Amino acid sequence: MHRNRRSSSSGNHPLPALGAAASIALALAILAGCGGGPKQGAKSAHTPEQAAYLQNIQVTPGRAEAAQNFLKHTVTTVHGTVTNNGGKAVRYLEISLTFSDIEGKPIEQKTAAPISGNTPPLKPGEARPFELSFDQVPAMWNQAVPRMVPVRVILAGD
């Protein structure tokens, strides 16, 4: 007689472990794609040329909004435009965003990359809109557009 073996929920079944591992891998992939840092080949330190080039980058704030996603978590999305006023293409740009409270005091600082390995380089003279999403912004945030400052750039050819 042939019997089917079934695992009980308390037994060693590989599917829950695989599901958890897949969820973690997906979360890490999403975080990596949201501008968490420079992509492969990016230098970790600024060269003097890169630091000087930051003055050619203009970040124009747009709007900020908070909404619930399908998991009922609040996601804050910040919109803006980045303009390359210099003579070289930008292949990576990191900006600092400072969120403030109702009194205008800084309460949280985050960094994000509106130009990265996931986007085409920003050509000289080009302006490009961006949208950055954050899943954890302090409850004390005043709902105003955060202050945005370019802090790191990697030029094409670097």
pLDDT digits 0-9 by tens, 113-130 = 999 988 999 999 999 999
Q: Between β-strands 74-84 and 147-155, what pairing exists: parallel, antiparallel or unpaired?
A: unpaired
**Domains annotated on the chain, with CATH:** 48-155 (2.60.40)
Length of the chain: 158
State the pLDDT at residue 97: 97
pLDDT band at 18 (very low <50, low <70, confident <90, very high): very low
The predicted model gives 93-110 an average pLDDT of 96
- Coil vs helix vs strand at 82: strand
Instruction: Output phi, psi for 96, to 5 deg.
Output: -100, 135
pLDDT digits 0-9 by tens, 70-85 = 887 888 999 999 999 9
Predicted TM-score of the model (pTM): 0.69
Burial of 114 from C-beta contacts in 10 A (0-12 / 13-18 / 19+): buried
pLDDT digits 0-9 by tens, 124-147 = 999 999 999 998 888 899 999 999
Q: Is the pLDDT of residue 148 over 90?
A: yes
pLDDT digits 0-9 by tens, 19-32 = 444 444 434 333 34
Q: Is the pLDDT of residue 66 over 90?
A: no
Nearest to 41 by CA among 153, 117, 124: 117
State the pLDDT at residue 45: 64
Average pLDDT across the chain, whole number: 79
